[in-house]
Structure 1
Amino acid sequence: MHAVVFSRYGGPEVLHLSDLPAPSARPGRIRIRVRAAGVNPYDYKVRSGMMAAGATAPDAPVVPGLEAAGVVDELGEGVSGVCVGDEVFGLAVGAYAEEAVLRAWAPKPAGLDWAQAAALGVAGETATRVLEALALPRGATLLVHGAAGGVGQAVVQLGRLAGLRVVGTASERNHDLLRRLGAEPVGYGDGLPARVTALAPDGVDGVADTAGSQLDDLIAVTGSPEGVVTIANYSAAERGVRFTGGGGDASAALARVGELAAGGLFAVRVAATFELADAALAHRLSESRTAGGKIVLTVK
Structure 2
Amino acid sequence: MRFRPLRSAPVTDSESVAVSEPPSEMRAIVFDGAGGPETLVEASVPVPSPVLSELLVRVVAAGVNPIDAKTRSGAGVSSQLPAHPSTLGFDFSGIVVRSPYEAHPLAPGTPVFGMAAFPRTGGSYAEYVVVPSLSVARKPASLSHVEAAGVPLAALTAWGLVVETARAHEGQRILIHAGSGGVGHFAVQFAAYFGAHVTATASARNAGWLRELGAAVVIDYTTTRFDEVVADVDVVIDLVGNVGGSTGTRSLRVLRPGGLYIVVPTGSWPDYAEVADEAGVRATSFKVVPDGGTLATIGRLLDSGAVQVYIDRVYDLPEAAAAHRHLEDGHTRGKVVLRVSDD
**TM-score normalised by the chain length of structure 1:** 0.91
**1:154 correspondence with 2:154:** no
Q: What is residue 131 of structure 2 aligned with on the other side?
A: 102
Question: RMSD between aligned alpha carbons?
Answer: 2.2
The sequence identity of aligned pairs, in percent, is 34
Select which of 87, 96, 99 maps to 1:72.
96
CA distance in 1, matches of 2:124, 2:79: 25
The aligned runs of 1:43-122 (5 Å cut-off) are 43-51=68-76, 59-76=83-100, 80-92=104-116, 93=118, 94-103=123-132, 104-122=135-153
Instruction: Give the Å deviation of 1:25.
Output: 1.9
Q: What is residue 253 of structure 1 aligned with on the other side?
A: 294
> Contact 1:140–1:205 at 8 Å: present in 2 too?
yes
The one-letter amino acid of 1:126's match is T
The one-letter amino acid of 2:309's match is V
Are the structure 2 counterparts of residues 187 and 58 from structure 1 closer, same or farther at C-alpha, using a change threshold of 3 Å? farther
**1:142 correspondence with 2:174:** yes
Instruction: Mark the runs of 5 or more structure 2 residues left unpaired by the alignment.
Output: 1-25, 274-282
**1:222 correspondence with 2:258:** no
> Contact 1:26–1:77 at 8 Å: present in 2 too?
no
Are the structure 2 counterparts of residues 212 and 224 from structure 1 closer, same or farther at C-alpha, using a change threshold of 3 Å? farther
Q: What is residue 200 of structure 1 aligned with on the other side?
A: none
Q: Which moved more, 1:70-79 or 1:284-293?
A: 70-79
Instruction: Give the Å deviation of 1:28.
Output: 2.6
The aligned runs of 1:26-37 (5 Å cut-off) are 26-37=51-62
Instruction: Give the Å deviation of 1:46.
Output: 0.4
The one-letter amino acid of 1:123's match is A
The aligned runs of 1:192-203 (5 Å cut-off) are 192-197=226-231, 203=232
Instruction: Give the Å deviation of 1:75.
Output: 2.0
**1:171 correspondence with 2:195:** no
The one-letter amino acid of 2:228's match is A
Instruction: Give the Å deviation of 1:44.
Output: 0.3
Instruction: Mark the runs of 5 or more structure 1 residues left unpaired by the alignment.
Output: 198-202
Are the structure 2 counterparts of residues 80 and 222 from structure 1 closer, same or farther at C-alpha, using a change threshold of 3 Å? farther
CA distance in 2, matches of 1:38, 1:231: 19
Select which of 40, 48, 52 maps to 2:65.
40
Higher gyration radius (CA) = 2
Equivalenced residues, count: 293
CA distance in 2, matches of 1:233, 1:225: 23
Are the structure 2 counterparts of residues 169 and 81 from structure 1 closer, same or farther at C-alpha, using a change threshold of 3 Å? same
**TM-score normalised by the chain length of structure 2:** 0.80
CA distance in 1, matches of 2:115, 2:206: 28
